[in-house]
Structure 1
């Protein structure tokens, strides 16, 4: 099954919610409270609400998705989000007023969004915007760490012109955003037969 990917302006996703803070966990609320800029708070909340929406599209009516975040290195309350009450994977990202979330059946998933020109080099990184969001999606899906993936990108591994490719055992696909100057990519591992 292919992932559901949702992209929206953060304030647009938050608009219909009278009290969006009630929809996130206590640990997420503590992280939200540490954010100082309203735009960062909007992005943070909108990404999590979009993730709930994406899970609902896969799982149908029923309890809304609950998330926890666990760092693969230190087990702290940050890192890869995990859905505790549905058998799906999720990923989220946000950048400067835009949020993205993805959900799918399977064990690995990553999404990234950024405000970049897809064909120009990202300053201080040495890869195009398109390769950069693909690299971030791969890292979130558990391919390698960012330094390794960016080095591969610098050698042209993530530089195809568009569309979808199988890369490092994951499917990587550019995601149309519908917004000028906003690019996104998703990476996932297809579920094996019988899972």
Structure 2
């Protein structure tokens, strides 16, 4: 079996992120975001994806063209496609203060989420075993523990294992806690700056997460909708 090629990165996001590398469509979506932190994360994620794609295929980041088109509504969102490189699988994620991106020759997925105090799971998101494990965890770490489970599930969804309707039966728990291998994928994780992340990667390739220092039905915070 041939080894898949992959580049995966997580990064912190500062207050100001340049937008000159974004496409016209991306810039319009960026400008429509109300909060400055959301705009910074959006720009940083799309620029980081260009970096990892460029490293994978051997071109400069500014030469990478991305396109997002929702297969349901036709809107400019959804899984990114690398123009001119049909064999490249690309995925990104962003939350306030943190971003992640993966480019690979095999299916992949990534998610990053900010840990919010009082984070609780919506109904039917956890398996019975996950719910029992989470219920036995200290209250002081329960929000982070839930986020660790969720980012694994979301990464596997993006890798094509199931869709969001199937996350409740998607078990990402090992005997000693959140899994590092699940459903045929290696789960590479990252934590920093109050956020957690996970990438679902083909297990047939050597990979390690690379953090670049900065210079949907989802878990929700209690009392928020």
What TM-score comes out, normalization by structure 1 length? 0.78
Write out the 4+ residue segments of structure 1 that deviate beyond 4 Å after TM superposition: none
3-state DSSP of counterpart to 2:14 = helix
Distance 1:174 1:121, change over 3 A: farther
The answer for the alignment partner of 1:137 in structure 2 is 155
Segments of 5+ residues of structure 1 without an aligned counterpart are 15-19
What CA deviation, in whole Å up to 9, does each residue of 1:151-175 have, x standing for no partner? 114xxx11222453141xx414032
Q: Which has the larger radius of gyration?
A: 2
The answer for the alignment partner of 1:57 in structure 2 is 55
Distance 1:2 1:134, change over 3 A: farther
What CA deviation, in whole Å up to 9, does each residue of 1:73-100 have, x standing for no partner? 2332111111113341111111121111
Distance 1:82 1:102, change over 3 A: same
Larger RCO of the pair (alpha carbons < 8 Å, separation 6+): 2
Contact 2:172–2:182 (8 Å) recurs in 1: no
Distance 1:110 1:13, change over 3 A: farther
Segments of 5+ residues of structure 2 without an aligned counterpart are 127-145, 205-225
CA deviation after TM superposition for structure 1 residue 180, in Å:
5.0
Counterparts of 1:105 and 1:12 in 2: how far apart (Å)?
A: 33
Q: Cα RMSD over matched residues?
A: 2.6
Counterparts of 1:103-118 in structure 2 under 5 Å?
103-106=103-106, 108-116=107-115
The answer for the alignment partner of 1:90 in structure 2 is 90
Distance 1:115 1:51, change over 3 A: same
Could you tell me which of 173, 176, 189 is aligned with 2:190? 176
Aligned pair count? 176
Counterparts of 2:16 and 2:58 in 1: how far apart (Å)?
A: 19
3-state DSSP of counterpart to 1:23 = coil
Distance 1:13 1:47, change over 3 A: farther
Contact 2:173–2:179 (8 Å) recurs in 1: no
What CA deviation, in whole Å up to 9, does each residue of 1:103-131 have, x standing for no partner? 1112x2210011238xx994143642222
